[in-house]
Amino acid sequence: MENLYIYIITALMPISALLLIFQPNPYYALVIRGILGAVAILVYVILGGADVALTEALVGTLLTIALYVIAIRSSMILKIGVLAENQSSTELKEISSKLKEIISHHYLRLELLTYENKDKLDQALTNEEIHGVIIPSELSPEKPYQTIIRVPRIYDIVKPELNNIAKVV
As its CATH architecture, domain 77-168 has 3-Layer(aba) Sandwich (3.40)
**83, 115 contact by CB (below 8 A):** yes
User: What mean pLDDT value characterizes the chain?
Assistant: 87
**Taking Cα atoms as reference points, which of 50, 55, 56 lies closest to residue 13?**
56
Q: Where are the domains of the chain?
A: 4-74, 77-168
pLDDT, tens digit, 9 for 90 and up, residues 86-119: 777 888 888 888 899 999 888 899 999 999 988 9
**152, 132 contact by CB (below 8 A):** no
What is the Cα–Cα distance from 119 to 129, expressed in whole angstroms?
Answer: 14
pLDDT, tens digit, 9 for 90 and up, residues 36-62: 999 999 999 999 999 999 998 988 888
Instruction: Return the DSSP state at 1.
Output: -
Q: Can you spell out the DSSP letters for 36-90?
A: HHHHHHHHHHHTT-HHHHHHIIIIIIIIHHHHHHHHHHHHSEEEEEEEGGGTT-H
Q: Tell me, what's the pLDDT at 1?
A: 65
pLDDT, tens digit, 9 for 90 and up, residues 121-141: 999 999 989 999 988 877 767
Residue 165 pLDDT class (50, 70, 90 cuts): low
Residue 84 pLDDT class (50, 70, 90 cuts): confident
What is the Cα–Cα distance from 139 to 109, expressed in whole angstroms?
Answer: 30
pLDDT beyond 80 at 13:
yes
Q: Tell me, what's the pLDDT at 106?
A: 87
